[in-house]
Chains A and B, each alone.
Chain A
Amino acid sequence: MKILLKDVAVNNPAQNLKKDNIDIVIDNGVIIEIGKLNEKDFGEVKKFDLAGKLVVPGLFDMHVHLREPGREDKETVISGCNCAANGGFTGLACMPNTEPAIDSAEVVSFIKKQASNHLVEVYPVAAATLGRRGEVLSPMAELFEAGAVGFSDDGTAIKTASILKRAMEYSKMYDLPIIEHCEDDSLAGGAMNESINSTILGLPPIPSLAEDLIVMRDILVAEYTGAKIHIAHISTKKSVEMVREAKAKGIRVTAEVTPHHFTLTDDAVKTYDTNVKMNPPLRTKEDVDAIIEGLKDGTLDCIASDHAPHTIEEKEVEFEYAPNGIIGLETQIGLALTELYHKKILTIEQIIEKLSINPRKILNIPVPQIKKGEPANLTILDLNIVWTVNKFSSFSKSINTPFDKKLLTGKSVGVINKLQMFFDGKFRNI
């Protein structure tokens, strides 16, 4: 089927492409024409009037917990992908802290197979060590061959400097990054950021030092080995500064930040709402300011959701006993546009870089091109639509979000990829 995207703007900084008020014709999933077109030239087309909308290369979230295999009650590959499509993403990388962990080619293949017919492309990040236990390297070559795009013991940092060094040396053969959850184990285990708020709330603290120590260690090991290190969900001022300095020295370090770490501070914990319990924890205003500075100057390459579904019964408990994490795929672009684009912190090009281009580059995945002859891998954004988050309309199997009822400006209205389109809340073949 041919489809026509009518009167759209397009923007892809990866191609230096920026045009207003043009049309895109897609036939059999391939862009066959782009420009100011006469629709009569294309015979029978399904037309979408998209005046005022912006077409960008399909968004990509490089930090998602799909929970399958093992915790299908929280999320499955399919429900997570539905959620991603609804949030404007055409691709994602899923983290290996499943049960079993993604530490064998079989699990990588299983996950890829679950997602094979979905619009959203799924790229597994495999465990760096067997069972994420930090003792023995995972079969990285085999995992790479099966389709893993990076290695991480996410949930924790790689246990020791010696196994981290070996993981980096080994993964370097395949030019894949080590993705680190930076947290010193001996300082971990608290329930919120160490600040005056943790004292007032009587909650066991996690000092920012716990993150900073591992960021420092990892940067040094990356410098020593020449391998690629990617800092997941960065949350502290010092860590942002260290990444900035490391980049200036030419060390191969990249970093991502979640929307909650650039929008919320640990003041949000004052209600003991378990939907603001995450790891790394929400930090202080000073940290948020440093993160925003890091987003602006490019120190922070990507925005990623750390989408972490948990069941109602797991979250509806005493704060200290609740698991860490929130869902985020469907609020991510809205938060980025509301808090960063509309507040003139980032340009739309920077938003596209951090939510589509850079994550793919870090994981060696080709960036979609918006041009004639290329497969259509697109996200259609409405930058100005004002909408209210409703957790009950999420496509996720879980509803653990602190952003319920929040008013946002800007969202995805549809995505196109792999001969499918998600539009108006429905999937259709094209």
Chain B
Amino acid sequence: MPLSSRHLLGLQGVPKEDIQLILDTALTFREVLERPIKKVPTLQGKTIVNLFYENSTRTRISFELAEKRLSADSINFSVSTSSVSKGETLKDTIKNIEAMKVDMVVVRHAAAGTPLFLTKVCNSIIINAGDGIHEHPTQALLDMYSIREKLGRLDGLKVCIVGDIAHSRVALSNIYGLKTMGAKVSLCGPSTMIPRFIEDLGVDVITNIDEAIQENDVLNILRIQLERKAREYFPSIREYAKYFGITRDRLEKSGKEILILHPGPINRGVEISSDVADGQHQIILNQVTNGVAVRMAVLYLLGTLN
């Protein structure tokens, strides 16, 4: 059964069957990544453009690897090397790229809604690799994949997303995806970083991190995004680390099993202490590996739709 949508713009409204299909497909590709020859011919002849208007190491490399492992031809377009600095509009840029006959566009952009905008001005398949503080669907998919890999299920799990919810595209995609898959989602962070009315999405908000640890099976710890003026939303990094940072002391004090995820890159000593980042609870590097498999699944399912 194919996916119900031609593009992957976000996880809002994406049906359970689609997420299930992506995660199950990713499982197959995860196995490919363990082979000595990590390449399949699935997308041979397809051309994919990685259109990155924002700095990204992890996501871009992950997509690029996924594309190469599927034998697609991929091209990187990043803002510093493009004609954008000459004042070309996004619409003109994408029209030009499309004129070179590309099949899929993976887009990262600082402005929310850009992937949707692209679907209106061009015919290529669009995959959102993060738009502003809106969504980052492949990150949430790989988070869910990693949780499922470790705990065997998503349904009925209690997952808390910790940190700067208001300036995170990872949070929203995780909320939609996890809830669709039957998990119970809560948020924990300083009140200034929790968007007003977010409870309307069917999530609980807690401001005490020890409570969050106590009540959840999984913590997904967001990066404090210092480049997004996040610093204006709490008094000091010291205070943030003291009241919201995940430390070994805190985890040990709770005396329970808990799974720690982090989308990276991590700020050691801020939202997560080094002993936790390197410790037994975390699956941070598994997430990175799984990211390639999940992105291969998305590219494969969308790229072979017709």
Please give the residue numbers on chain A whose beta carbons come within 8 Å of chain B beta carbons, in ascending order: 194-196, 198-205, 207, 271-272, 313, 316-321
Residues of chain A lying within 8 A (CB to CB) of residue B132: 202-203, 320
| Distance between Cα atoms of A202 and B166 in the complex (Å) | 9
Contact B172 A320 (CB under 8 A): no
User: Residues 104-133 of chain B: 1 if any A CB is under 8 Å from the residue's CB, otherwise 0?
Assistant: 000001111110110000000000000111
Contact A199 B112 (CB under 8 A): no
| Distance between Cα atoms of A203 and B169 in the complex (Å) | 11
Residues of chain A lying within 8 A (CB to CB) of residue B200: 196
Contact B201 A196 (CB under 8 A): yes
Residues of chain A lying within 8 A (CB to CB) of residue B109: 318
Knowing A272-B113, A320-B112, the reply to whether A199 touches B172 (Cβ < 8 A) is yes
Min CB distance B59 to A, Å, is 16
Contact A195 B197 (CB under 8 A): yes
Residues of chain A lying within 8 A (CB to CB) of residue B116: 271-272
| Distance between Cα atoms of A195 and B90 in the complex (Å) | 28
Contact B89 A317 (CB under 8 A): yes
Please give the residue numbers on chain B whose beta carbons come within 8 Å of chain A beta carbons, in ascending order: 12, 89-91, 109-114, 116-117, 131-135, 166, 169, 172, 195-198, 200-201
Residues of chain A lying within 8 A (CB to CB) of residue B172: 199-200, 202
Which residue of B is nearest A202, CB measured? B134
Contact A201 B113 (CB under 8 A): yes
- A and B contact pairs by CB, cutoff 8 A, 29 listed: A195-B196, A196-B197, A196-B198, A198-B195, A199-B166, A199-B172, A199-B195, A199-B196, A199-B197, A199-B201, A200-B172, A201-B113, A202-B112, A202-B131, A202-B132, A203-B112, A203-B133, A205-B195, A271-B116, A272-B112, A272-B113, A272-B116, A318-B90, A318-B111, A318-B113, A318-B117, A319-B111, A320-B113, A320-B132
| Distance between Cα atoms of A203 and B167 in the complex (Å) | 10
Contact B113 A203 (CB under 8 A): yes
Residues of chain A lying within 8 A (CB to CB) of residue B12: 200
A-B CB proximity, top 5 nearest: A202-B134, A272-B113, A318-B111, A202-B112, A196-B197
Knowing A199-B172, A200-B12, the reply to whether A272 touches B117 (Cβ < 8 A) is yes
Min CB distance B172 to A, Å, is 7
Which residue of B is nearest A314, CB measured? B89
| Distance between Cα atoms of A138 and B219 in the complex (Å) | 58
Contact A317 B201 (CB under 8 A): no
Contact B112 A313 (CB under 8 A): no
Residues of chain B lying within 8 A (CB to CB) of residue A199: 166, 172, 195-198, 201
User: Beyond A316-B91, A318-B109: 11 further Cβ-contacts under 8 Å?
Assistant: A194-B196, A196-B198, A196-B201, A199-B197, A201-B113, A202-B113, A202-B172, A205-B196, A317-B90, A319-B113, A320-B111
